[in-house]
Structure 1
Amino acid sequence: MANFSIKETSNKPTLKALSFFSGCMGLDIGLEREGIEVLLSCEVDKAARKTIEKNRPDIALIGDIRDYCATQIRETAGLGSYEDIDLIVGGPPCQAFSSAGKRRGFNDERGNVFLKFIDSIVELRPKFAVIENVRGLLSASLKHRPHNLRGANHPLLSQEEKRGGALLHIIRQLKEAGYSISFNLYNTANFGSPQCRERVIIACSRDGEKLPYLTPTNSENGLYGLPKWRTLREALEGLPKEEHDFVKFPEKRLRYYRLLKPGQNWRDLPVELHQEAMGSSYHAGGGKTGFYRRLAWDKPSPTLLTHPAMPATDLAHPEEDRPLSIQEYKRIQEFPDDWLIQGKLLDQYRQVGNAVPYSLGRAVGRMIQTYLSAEQPESFQDFPYSRYKNTDDVSWMYEILGYSEDSIGEQLCLSLS
Structure 2
Amino acid sequence: MPNKIYNFIDLFCGAGGFAKGFEMSGKFKCIGGIDNKKAAVETHKLNFKDSISVQSDIRKLEPKQFHKLIGKQEVDVIIGGPPCPTFSTIGHAKIQSVNKDKGDCITEDPRNLLFMDYLKYVKYFNPKMFVMENVPQFLTKYKGETFKEVKKIIERDLPEYTIVEEVKVLNSVNYGVPQNRRRMILVGHLKGYNFKYPKITHWYKGSNFNINPNSDDIDVNTLKPHVNVKSAISDLPSITDNWRINECEYSQHKNLDSYQKLMRENTNSTVSNNICRMSNERAKKVFAHMKQGDIYMDLPKEVRQILPFREDIFKDRLKRLVLKNPSWTILAHIGMDGYMYIHPTELRTLSVREAARIQSFPDDFIFVGNQQETYMQVGNAVPPIMAKAIASSVYDCLEKNNVNVLSKTLV
In the superposition, the TM-score normalised over structure 2's length comes to: 0.74
Change (3 A) 1:362 1:212: same
Opposite residue 127 of structure 2, the aligned amino acid is: P
Change (3 A) 1:184 1:278: farther
Q: Does the CA contact (< 8 Å) of 1:30 and 1:358 recur in 2?
A: yes
Opposite residue 33 of structure 1, the aligned amino acid is: M
Runs (4+) of structure 1 exceeding 6 A deviation are none
Stretches of structure 2 that go unaligned for 5 or more consecutive residues are 96-104, 206-218, 240-244, 246-273, 402-411
Identity %: 28
1:90 aligns with 2:80: yes
Alpha-carbon distance in 1 for matches of 2:21, 2:224: 20
1:75 corresponds in structure 2 to: 68
Q: Secondary structure at the match of 1:66?
A: coil
1:38 aligns with 2:68: no
Measured after TM superposition, the shift of residue 307 of structure 1 is 3.3
Alpha-carbon distance in 2 for matches of 1:365, 1:238: 28
Change (3 A) 1:312 1:59: closer
Alpha-carbon distance in 1 for matches of 2:144, 2:223: 33
Measured after TM superposition, the shift of residue 98 of structure 1 is 5.7
Alpha-carbon distance in 2 for matches of 1:278, 1:347: 26
Q: Does the CA contact (< 8 Å) of 1:308 and 1:316 recur in 2?
A: no
Q: Secondary structure at the match of 1:302?
A: coil
2:137 corresponds in structure 1 to: 136
Give the one of 330, 336, 347 matched to 1:304: 330
Alpha-carbon distance in 1 for matches of 2:234, 2:309: 38
Give the one of 224, 227, 230 matched to 2:227: 230
1:281 aligns with 2:310: yes
Alpha-carbon distance in 1 for matches of 2:120, 2:50: 27
1:180 aligns with 2:162: yes
Change (3 A) 1:323 1:108: farther
Q: Secondary structure at the match of 2:200?
A: coil
1:257 corresponds in structure 2 to: 287
Measured after TM superposition, the shift of residue 364 of structure 1 is 1.3
Encode CA deviations 1:208-258: one digit per residue, 9 max, x unaligned: 545222321212239242101110111114211134312222222222211
Opposite residue 390 of structure 2, the aligned amino acid is: V
2:277 corresponds in structure 1 to: 247
Encode CA deviations 1:342-376: one digit per residue, 9 max, x unaligned: 1100010111110110112101111112223339x
Q: Does the CA contact (< 8 Å) of 2:283 and 2:307 recur in 1?
A: no
Q: Does the CA contact (< 8 Å) of 1:274 and 1:282 recur in 2?
A: no
Change (3 A) 1:233 1:289: farther
2:388 corresponds in structure 1 to: 362
Q: Does the CA contact (< 8 Å) of 2:173 and 2:180 recur in 1?
A: yes
Alpha-carbon distance in 1 for matches of 2:335, 2:288: 15
Measured after TM superposition, the shift of residue 261 of structure 1 is 1.6
Alignment of 1:306-345 (within 5 A): 306-308=332-334, 314-345=340-371
Give the one of 40, 44, 53 matched to 1:48: 40
Q: Does the CA contact (< 8 Å) of 2:335 and 2:372 recur in 1?
A: no
Encode CA deviations 1:361-417: one digit per residue, 9 max, x unaligned: 101111112223339xxxxxxxxxxxxxxxxxxxxxxxxxxxxxxxxxxxxxxxxxx
Q: Secondary structure at the match of 1:54?
A: helix
Q: Does the CA contact (< 8 Å) of 2:342 and 2:348 recur in 1?
A: yes
2:212 corresponds in structure 1 to: none
Q: Does the CA contact (< 8 Å) of 1:180 and 1:211 recur in 2?
A: no
1:195 aligns with 2:176: no
Give the one of 171, 187, 195 matched to 2:151: 171
Q: Does the CA contact (< 8 Å) of 2:131 and 2:186 recur in 1?
A: yes
Opposite residue 147 of structure 2, the aligned amino acid is: L
Q: Does the CA contact (< 8 Å) of 1:178 and 1:208 recur in 2?
A: no
Alpha-carbon distance in 1 for matches of 2:20, 2:335: 27
Measured after TM superposition, the shift of residue 310 of structure 1 is 5.8
Alpha-carbon distance in 2 for matches of 1:123, 1:74: 9
Opposite residue 327 of structure 1, the aligned amino acid is: R
Q: Does the CA contact (< 8 Å) of 1:309 and 1:316 recur in 2?
A: no
Encode CA deviations 1:94-121: one digit per residue, 9 max, x unaligned: 134569xxx9995432221111111221
Q: Does the CA contact (< 8 Å) of 1:98 and 1:134 recur in 2?
A: no
Q: More deviation in 221-230 or 191-200? A: 221-230
2:16 corresponds in structure 1 to: 25
Measured after TM superposition, the shift of residue 165 of structure 1 is 3.7
1:59 corresponds in structure 2 to: 51
Encode CA deviations 1:257-277: one digit per residue, 9 max, x unaligned: 11112222224323x437636
Change (3 A) 1:289 1:318: farther
Alpha-carbon distance in 2 for matches of 1:77, 1:166: 34
Q: Secondary structure at the match of 2:147?
A: helix
Give the one of 399, 406, 409 matched to 1:373: 399
Q: Secondary structure at the match of 2:237?
A: coil
Opposite residue 86 of structure 1, the aligned amino acid is: D
Alpha-carbon distance in 1 for matches of 2:372, 2:308: 26
Alpha-carbon distance in 1 for matches of 2:85, 2:339: 17
Encode CA deviations 1:6-59: one digit per residue, 9 max, x unaligned: xxxxx7431111111111111111101221111111111011111122223441
Opposite residue 314 of structure 1, the aligned amino acid is: M
Stretches of structure 1 that go unaligned for 5 or more consecutive residues are 1-10, 141-161, 376-417
Q: Does the CA contact (< 8 Å) of 1:180 and 1:210 recur in 2?
A: no
